[in-house]
Amino acid sequence: MSKTFSKDAVASHNKGDSLWIVIDEDVYDVTKFQDEHPVLQRVAGKDASKQFWKYHNEGILKKYKAQLQIGSLDTKKVVEPTPASAPEPKKAAPVAQAAPADYKPAATSEPQDPYGDLIPFADPSWYQGYSSPYFNDSHAALREEIREWVDTEIEPYVTEWDEAKNVPDKIYKQMGERGYLAGLLGVKYPEKHTPYRVKSVAPERWDLFHEMLLTDELSRAGSGGLVWNLIGGYGIGCPPLVKFGKKELVDRILPGILAGDKRICLAITEPDAGSDVANLGCEAKLSEDGKHYIVNGEKKWITNGVWADYFTTAVRTGKPGMEGLSVLLIEREAGGVSTRRMDCQGVWSSGTTYVTFEDVKVPVENLIGKENQGFKVIMTNFNHERIGIVIQCVRFARVCYEESMKYAHKRRTFGKKLIDHPVIRMKLAHMARQIEATYNWLENIIFQCQCMDETEAMLKLGGAIAGLKAQSTQTFEFCAREASQIFGGLSYSRGGQGGKIERLYRDVRAYAIPGGSEEIMLDLSMRQSLRVHQMFGMKL
């Protein structure tokens, strides 16, 4: 913004037909905005910084700056930012470095440069100048690339999208073009099936910590609906296709999916079968000529179903129980597939859907895995799904904590700032200790996954991942509640300063119930871990 104005010049624009204000030495022409926001007339021609920061957070400026700012005061000094200051100047996004010949994914213990706002515990410790055995320069570069995108093109609009119960298609398309969809499959970067690359990380360097970081940074926008819109159906619907689908099927449909042109979802849950997967009833009967399955049945609470072209669907092809299940890739254009949006408590922009299959003809080539061995496909997928849920929950808990910490530093009650009340510090401390404990367990699990193949991970880590899922949803719920108490009425009404907290509080159950409810997860964590450790030779 190159134009500068004197204080006197701004002061002369103090009437309805030309209304300027100053915020942090930047000049805003709010003439056209005053009908929507009449309070501005009270500060016409004046410095309104104090009043502005009392009632808004930085999200408002991110959204309106480009539209309303016309310049700065001529007294404004250009400050050279220090590395620790935020928001940081926009740098050109880093470019992928090809891995050197002797590259090993093992990370360095050298700390990365401090990054972000440096509020203690509001980001993982490796962001804040502490050493990490897992994250290296390629992760730092990816973090910057995603954060810039989320800060400028996503976060300012998330509330609007949530209210509209959708996210513009162009954002999903960008997920494909930026190479992010291809990086979210829990496997090596699928170079053969997409021309798109992640700008800051070479495909051969891509690992599970990059994948974790992608989901984590997307979750900073503080909306489960946004994250599920972008990766909710894809992140659980596509991996089974890639890992267990036949080559011809994968070659035919995967490129369109990775490009963000086609959408895929996972259809397992039914009106009468949720966590109790082995009991599902959607039926697939082989045709007499053995070329097709004919599918009839219903699926409920299917994320992204309203927009999906493909449904990775659990069906019954054999006897009752887990040994009669198979997984089919159902294509909407086959006909007989109808979808309707469901109204839910949270994750509004995720497109929760009721799906009906009526005599849908599915070629046998679309069988994912083997007939009647679908339970293994479903179980393998659960680990990936649950880890995704954990990453989101930990970041959402951090968002609740970070927003509370910022608000506690400006809101005054009984003559002092909230942060100066011990009872508020106690709340923040309880939030931080749970966030850090959960996050550090998550990092360990990601590292274990990186050291094992799928089957070994399903067996050995299934119990721990189930326990961690419950830990993360309870941490999220706790932090949403405590943040809500700190924000008071502002988190009870929608939008505004407490808007993220109100939305996240509504999203909590969407994490605590699907992917295995807390109760089932905690029980499984014991059953599975005991079974595995018995095989290890556990002595009791």
Residues that bind ligand HEM (CB under 6 A): 21, 28, 30, 37, 39-40, 42-43, 48, 51-52, 55-56, 60, 64, 68, 490, 495-497
Q: Compare residues 21 and 327 and give the one whose CB is closer to ligand HEM.
A: 21
What is d(CA 25, CA 237) in angstroms, rounded to the nearest whole number?
A: 49
Q: Compare residues 60 and 513 and give the one whose CB is closer to ligand HEM.
A: 60
What is d(CA 431, CA 398) in angstroms, rounded to the nearest whole number?
A: 8
Residue 165, by phi and psi: left (phi above 0), alpha (psi -120 to 50) or beta?
A: left
- Give CB contacts under 8 A, 24+ apart, made by 164-170: 164/349, 165/225, 165/341, 165/348, 165/349, 165/351, 166/229, 166/349, 166/351, 167/225, 167/226, 167/229, 167/230, 167/349
Q: Compare residues 129 and 496 and give the one whose CB is closer to ligand HEM.
A: 496
Minimum separation from the CB atom of position 226 to ligand HEM (A): 17
Minimum separation from the CB atom of position 121 to ligand HEM (A): 25
Q: Compare residues 45 and 232 and give the one whose CB is closer to ligand HEM.
A: 45
Minimum separation from the CB atom of position 168 to ligand HEM (A): 19
Q: Compare residues 42 and 412 and give the one whose CB is closer to ligand HEM.
A: 42
- 270 burial class (0-12, 13-18, 19+ CB within 10 angstroms)? buried
Q: Compare residues 6 and 41 and give the one whose CB is closer to ligand HEM.
A: 41
Cβ neighbours for 141, distance < 8 A, ≥ 6 positions apart: 94, 200, 201
Q: Compare residues 64 and 447 and give the one whose CB is closer to ligand HEM.
A: 64
Of 264, 454, 309, 306, the residue nearest 378 (C-alpha): 454
What is d(CA 370, CA 328) in angstroms, rounded to the nearest whole number?
A: 10
Minimum separation from the CB atom of position 417 to ligand HEM (A): 18
Task: Assess whether the previous peptide bond of 422 is cis (omega < 30° from 0).
Answer: no
Minimum separation from the CB atom of position 219 to ligand HEM (A): 21
Minimum separation from the CB atom of position 404 to ligand HEM (A): 16
What is d(CA 255, CA 246) in angstroms, rounded to the nearest whole number?
A: 14
Give the Cα-Cα-Cα angle 444, 450, 452 (nearest 5 degrees).
105
State phi, psi for 5 to the nearest 5 degrees. -135, 150
Minimum separation from the CB atom of position 54 to ligand HEM (A): 7
